[in-house]
Structure 1
Amino acid sequence: MSYLNTPTYREREKQWLEQAAALPPGPDRDACQALADGYGNLVMLLDQLDALAT
């Protein structure tokens, strides 16, 4: 499926991790980390779906 673009989601995860690393500890850093974690989980789920489809 074309909307299941895992390279894009991996890049977004990386960008949020980089943003989190640039921030001091606190709510903004936590939010960036949570977004990165969410993209990481999404990629994992999409990879699992892809494995089931093949």
Structure 2
Amino acid sequence: MGLAVARFVDGVSGRNFAHMPELTWRYGDHAVLVAMATICLALYRLFKRSGWL
């Protein structure tokens, strides 16, 4: 599930290179990577705690 989130964020941000908000912001790429990692980690912990993993 976590990889699905990463693929979704990557797909949405990677399809329109002319109007990507992270291109104009100095730490945009890092912010997107940190957000993806945080969401994936949160989903992993949630599923692990509920017994699905």
Question: Could you tell me the TM-score, scaled by structure 2's length?
Answer: 0.53
Match for residue 31 of structure 1 among 28, 34, 40? 28
Matched residue, 1:22: none
* CA root-mean-square deviation: 2.3
Structure 2: 5+ residue runs without aligned partners?
A: 15-23
Q: Which structure ranks higher in relative contact order (CA pairs < 8 Å, sequence separation ≥ 6)? A: 2
Runs of 4+ in 1 over 6 A off after TM superposition: none
Which blocks of at least 5 consecutive residues in structure 1 are unaligned? 20-26
The aligned length equals 39
Normalising by structure 1, what TM-score? 0.53
